[in-house]
Amino acid sequence: MSSEPDPLEPLRRDLSVDETVTAVLNGWPLRNEVVKGTVVRIVPFGLFLDIDGREGLVRIPEVSHRPIGHPSEAAAVGDEVVGVVTDVDLEREQVSVSLKRLLPDPLHAFARRAIGRTLPGRVDRTTRVGAFVEMDADGDGGTDGDGIVGLLPGAESVDLQVGDLVEVEVASIDIEARRVRLRRA
Contact 38, 88 (CB under 8 A): no
Q: Domains in the chain, start-ordered, CATH in brackets? A: 9-102 (2.40.50.140), 106-184 (2.40.50.140)
Contact 46, 58 (CB under 8 A): yes
What is the DSSP code string of 24-57? HHTT---TT-EEEEEEEEEETTEEEEEETTEEEE
Mean predicted confidence (pLDDT) in 102-130: 90
Whether the predicted pLDDT of 112 surpasses 50: yes
Helix (H) or strand (E) holding 71: none
Q: CA 43: distance to chain centroid? A: 17
What is the Cα–Cα distance from 38 to 51, expressed in whole angstroms? 7
Whether the predicted pLDDT of 55 surpasses 50: yes
What is the DSSP code string of 97-160? EESGGGS--HHHHHHHHHTT-EEEEEEEEEETTEEEEEE-SSSSS--SS-SEEEEEEGGGSTT-
Mean predicted confidence (pLDDT) in 132-142: 69
Whether the predicted pLDDT of 145 surpasses 60: no
Q: Pick the residue with more confidence: 145 or 129?
A: 129
CA distances from 160 to 35, 104, 133 (A): 46, 32, 10
Q: Pick the residue with more confidence: 80 or 65?
A: 80
Mean predicted confidence (pLDDT) in 77-96: 91
| DSSP-assigned beta bridge partners for residue 35 | 83
Among 73-77, 85-89, 90-94, 114-118, where is mean pLDDT lowest? 90-94
